[in-house]
Homo-oligomer: A and B are copies of this chain.
Amino acid sequence: MCNWLHMHRVAYYRAAMALEHAILVSLAERSASGYELARRFDASIGHFWKASHQQIYKVLGRMEADKLVESHLVAQDGRPDKKVYAITGEGRDELAAFTTTPTGPEVLRSDLAVKLRALPFGDRDAIVATVRQRRADHLATLAGYEASAARYYPDPSAVPAEQLGAWLVLSGGMRAERGGIEWCEEILQALVPQAPGEETR
């Protein structure tokens, strides 16, 4: 029972709705409640696609109306009931179709870049502090990724086929963090020239 609006949306906006597809991937791997999905987005997928629980519930509702997922209530003891969502056949079709659509160039939005360009008009020390913070964030995120990598992919040259995609994503995440760290260090070198040893924190 697709109404016109639904068809319109699927036809024209598919490329822009990656949150739906991220949820479909997550549910294709394992069924989950909205709450569990939100925590997965905090933990693994969320490193590459953030989503609040409110947004997830909203999208899940729409996806259920679109028959991409279906839910059933599960009673629990010691905790509130939960609504477990599972991907449908239509959802799997949509996910497969998504992989065949071309992806436009990534949109990157860098607050830090704007601040750097504002260097002549702003507070140099504050910007340096921001860069140090950013560097620390990248280091912490990288450490988390490396722990995941060591745990789940101890031998990167022999990743099982069904985990290859997830491994490549994690590897890309580590690359991005390392690149971010190097950029921060280049910036600090340029803005705070001093003995390299002092730049450890």
Instruction: Kindly provide the distance from the CB of A180 to the nearest chain B CB, expressed in whole angstroms.
Output: 8
- Give Cα distance in the complex from A156 to B25, angstroms: 44
Assess the B99–A49 pair: CB atoms within 8 A.
no
Interface of A is mostly: helix
Say which one of A53-61, A72-80, A144-152, A181-189 lies at the interface with B.
Answer: A181-189
Partner of A169, one of B102, B117, B178: B117
Assess the A111–B117 pair: CB atoms within 8 A.
no
Interface-central residue, A110, A114, A161, A178, by most chain B CB under 10 Å: A114
Chain A residue total in the interface (Cβ 8 A)? 67
- Give Cα distance in the complex from A107 to B176, angstroms: 12
- Give Cα distance in the complex from A18 to B109, angstroms: 9
| Interface residues as binary, A90-104 with B (CB distance below 8 Å gives 1, 0 otherwise) | 001001101110111
Given A118-B165, A175-B179: A123 touches B99 (CB 8 Å cut-off): yes
Instruction: Kindly provide the distance from the CB of A22 to the nearest chain B CB, expressed in whole angstroms.
Output: 5
Assess the B114–A25 pair: CB atoms within 8 A.
yes
Instruction: Kindly provide the distance from the CB of A165 to the nearest chain B CB, expressed in whole angstroms.
Output: 3
Assess the A186–B168 pair: CB atoms within 8 A.
yes
Given A108-B48, A164-B190, A171-B186: A103 touches B130 (CB 8 Å cut-off): yes
19 A-B Cβ contacts within 8 A?
Answer: A28-B120, A28-B121, A49-B110, A95-B121, A96-B118, A100-B126, A106-B111, A106-B112, A113-B169, A113-B172, A116-B165, A116-B166, A116-B169, A120-B165, A175-B179, A175-B182, A176-B179, A178-B179, A179-B179
| Further pairs besides A96-B121, A110-B172, A172-B183: 4, Cβ < 8 Å | A48-B110, A98-B114, A106-B110, A108-B108
